[in-house]
Amino acid sequence: MKKILSLITTIGACIIMNAQASKDKEVIDKLCGCFEVNFKYAETFSPDPAYKYHDREETGGTAELALPIEVTDRKIVIQHLLVVSPTVVVKHWREEWTYENPVIWKYTGDRKWVKEVIPAEQVKGKWTQTVWEVSDEPRYQGYSQFVSLDGKIIWQSTADAPLPRREYSVRNDYNILKRTNRLNLTDSGYIHEQDNQKIIRRNGVDQLLVEEKGINSYKRLNDKECAAANEYWEKTRDYWAAVRKAWAGYLNTHNSIQLHNKVEGRMLHEYLMELAKDFTAGKIKPTETEAQINKIIAVFLIK
């Protein structure tokens, strides 16, 4: 009798879990589509009275396609493609949503990530958002539940991350961006709100340099505004699938990863995007693509 009751309880729990995952998945589906994007950032507070605040930043007004490229009951992979013009499309970042994911790649600084296994009870009922760089290298991961608050659907998490491109190209006075990411879904799209801390980490000790507020808005557009992005992806999706496969092969067999920032004055995404052009132009054979990708990535890996 006890075994029967235990089995019934287990089945009931599985049904509830699957129902919750299915409900959350419907929310994540709303992050896909064609959007007008705008990014705003402003530094807000520094504990150092002598700190000189950087100017506010605002970019956007362009279209971005958030394209679902892999969908299962417990996983959704969304590729972002930036439409600069009807003839210019840039592969942007990638986000991966996984339900009750037990593995986190934690950023520790100096372009190093360490694999951590999270206790099952800590991620129960939660979705992990994994953000990958333009080159498909790691950036950061965070996990949380989706909650409904005052009629809004919200997901929030805090994670350490490397400097974003808007920062690492112009400054080096800090080395950790502690990001608190908050997604607010709206009728017209969604808002990605950020409460960030720019941190100097030395010998395991953190010093706050300055805090920052970020508001990234995604306003839904007619799908035809992202037609160029769909065309680009049709030509390059096999290539970028090979890049993801190369990364997965390495991450699945290692417990830490550290990367050079540049090799011979160029960043990893520059090499991979150049190879992508050769791929679409038919300058390299499909059978040679994976080997060339692995060769490029290997040069950036710090053994």
CATH number at residue 63: 2.40.128
Mean per-residue pLDDT, 169-184: 95
Identify the CA nearest to 194 among candidates 234, 167, 225. 167
With 50 as the cut, is the pLDDT of residue 104 above it? yes
Which of the four pLDDT bands, split at 50, 70 and 90, describes residue 11?
very low
Residue 12 belongs to some domain of the structure? yes
Pairing of strands 152-161, 146-149: antiparallel
Residue 1 confidence (pLDDT): 56
Residue 294 confidence (pLDDT): 97
With 90 as the cut, is the pLDDT of residue 287 above it? no
Helix (H/G/I), strand (E/B), else coil: 30: coil
Residue 20 confidence (pLDDT): 81
Which of the four pLDDT bands, split at 50, 70 and 90, describes residue 126?
very high
The number of domains in the chain is 1
Residue 190 belongs to some domain of the structure? yes
Residue 278 confidence (pLDDT): 95
Which of the four pLDDT bands, split at 50, 70 and 90, describes residue 10?
very low
Provide, rounded to the nearest whole percent, the portion of the chain with pLDDT above 90.
85
Average pLDDT, the chain: 92
Q: How far is CA 123 from CA 31, 101, 158, in A?
A: 21, 7, 14
Residue 122 belongs to some domain of the structure? yes
Contacts of 182 (CB under 8 A, 6+ apart): 154, 155, 156, 192, 193, 194, 195
Residue 266 belongs to some domain of the structure? no
Domain extent at residue 89: 2-223
Residue 8 confidence (pLDDT): 41
- Which residue has better confidence, 7 or 260? 260
Residue 89 belongs to some domain of the structure? yes
Mean per-residue pLDDT, 94-120: 96
Residue 287 belongs to some domain of the structure? no
Mean per-residue pLDDT, 18-39: 92
* Residue 139 · residue 80 · CB < 8 Å: no
